[in-house]
């Protein structure tokens, strides 16, 4: 689970940087906007998995507990 969340964060960073580059070049406003929308969706997904609820449990933490021991 940690690897997936790390890849999501890195992908968000890459999407935002790519959107900024496309916006500066001009002509690719729609693609840049879609990249920013996708980055926003991914940020919300990361928040859902990592932010704790009222009892202090997060989905990522609960997923770690349910894995069989190696």
Rounded distance between C-alpha atoms, residue 22 and residue 19, angstroms: 5
The model's pLDDT over 15-69, given as tens digits with 9 standing for 90+, comes to 999 999 999 998 899 999 999 999 999 999 999 888 888 888 887 777 777 666 6
Domain ranges of the chain: 2-65
* pLDDT recorded at residue 67: 65
b/e for 16-36, b at 16 or more Cβ within 10 A? bebbeebbeeeebeeebeebb
Contact 16, 37 (CB under 8 A): no
């Amino acid at each position: 689970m940690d690897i997936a969340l790390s890849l999501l964060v890195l992908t968000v960073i890459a999407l935002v940087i790519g959107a900024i580059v496309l916006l500066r070049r001009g002509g690719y406003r729609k693609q840049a906007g879609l990249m920013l929308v996708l980055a926003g969706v991914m940020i919300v997904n990361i928040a859902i998995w990592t932010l704790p609820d009222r009892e202090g449990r997060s989905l990522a933490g609960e997923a770690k507990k349910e894995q069989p021991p190696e």
